[in-house]
Amino acid sequence: MFGYVRAFKPELKIKDYETYKSVYCTLCTKLGKRYGILSRMTLSYDFTFFAIVRLAASTQCPGFIKGRCCVNPLKKCVKCAGRDDEFDYTCAVAMIMFYYKLRDDINDNGFFKKLLSCFLYPYAAYVHNRAKKNFPDADAVVKQAIDRQNKIESENSSSIDEAAHPTAQAMSELISYGFNGDTKTVLERIGYCVGRWVYISDALDDFEKDCKSGSYNTFAQRTEYRYDDAELNRGIFESAENLLNQSADEAYIAYELLDCENFNPIIENILDCGMSNCTQKILERKVVRK
């Protein structure tokens, strides 16, 4: 995951923001204990959202305790107490995705990034094996999504829906893992919409870079890209914005079907304000570059 799915702090109450941070801090602590200090560097707010939605759907809210920050012992923070099973699963998914992302970087990126990826690969392989041993189903989901994505890219597909489907489907299966009935169905829909939104956000953010390097980008396949054609670019960005808003809206509508007692203000903030704010920031960067 890419770090796009995060809360919009100005619209959160202080107590809700503290709860949001507590889940992030708990994931940071659990990652370090289970997979080593380096694993904490891979943590993004995407996984905080992932964990919060699963915690909300389970209806069993963990308690909260005050403690010291594991990165900065001089700093106090609030952490979750309980529901280790959910945090273990989220951490394992994070490590599995880190491994496959690093493997993909080795194959696709420039010399220096490839060199760094090769340097980190033995560590990534080690944590991947540990995570895979505990959650083989999660590893199978991510691997299958990577294989499907590679096939679509090798065919230079111009369909945004087709290109976004592997990421969306993987998110759908991962976030709903272990649930049953209506709750599973709703989580699958939330996961699919958010996964689709993440893929499109990443493709939009990397649009110019991919065009210059010749890497696959679903938006570039739909037209003959010209860096100096502002009108053409504007049409691409407007199309992407509509797709992103549609995916975020559908995720929010699906979430309203979930009967949750905990974390509601945080999840609503992320699906409504957070994702919208991220979309606007990406689009603003496009305007600045022109």
The whole-number average pLDDT for the span 30-34 is: 92
Q: Give me the pLDDT at residue 290, please.
A: 47
Q: Give me the pLDDT at residue 213, please.
A: 78
DSSP per-residue codes, 157-218: ---HHHHHHHHHHHHHHHHTTT--HHHHHHHHHHHHHHHHHHHHHHHHHTHHHHHHHT---T
Q: Give me the pLDDT at residue 288, please.
A: 47
Show Cβ contacts of residue 97 under 8 Å, excluding neighbours closer than 6 positions.
1, 142
Q: Does residue 21 surpass a pLDDT of 50? A: yes
Distance from chain centroid for Cα 185: 20
Q: Give me the pLDDT at residue 57, please.
A: 92
Q: Does residue 69 surpass a pLDDT of 80? A: no
Token representation of residue 172: 């759908």
Identify whether the C-beta of residue 196 lies closer than 8 Å to the C-beta of residue 240: no
Instruction: Give the pLDDT confidence of 229-241 residue by residue, as tens digits.
Output: 666 677 788 888 9
Q: Does residue 31 surpass a pLDDT of 80? A: yes
220 half-sphere exposure, CB direction, 13 A CA radius: 20
Q: What is the pTM of this model?
A: 0.91
Q: Which residue did the predictor score with more confidence, 259 or 70?
A: 259
- Strand-pairing partners, residue 81, are 63
Q: Kindly state the percentage of the chain with pLDDT values over 70.
A: 91
Residues in the chain: 290
**What residue spans of the chain are helical by DSSP H?**
14-35, 45-58, 84-108, 111-134, 136-154, 160-175, 181-205, 207-213, 230-255, 264-269, 275-289
Q: Give me the pLDDT at residue 226, please.
A: 54
Q: Please classify residue 230 by burial: count the beta carbons closer than 10 Å to its beta carbon, then call 0-12 exposed, 13-18 middle and 19+ buried.
A: exposed
State the virtual CA torsion across 256, 48, 8, 251 in degrees, nearest 10: -30
Instruction: Give the pLDDT confidence of 125-178 residue by residue, as tens digits.
Output: 999 999 999 999 999 999 999 999 999 988 888 889 999 999 999 999 999 999
Q: Does residue 104 surpass a pLDDT of 90? A: no
Identify whether the C-beta of residue 267 lies closer than 8 Å to the C-beta of residue 255: yes
Whole-number Cα distances in Å, 242 to 149, 162, 277, 282: 23, 17, 14, 13
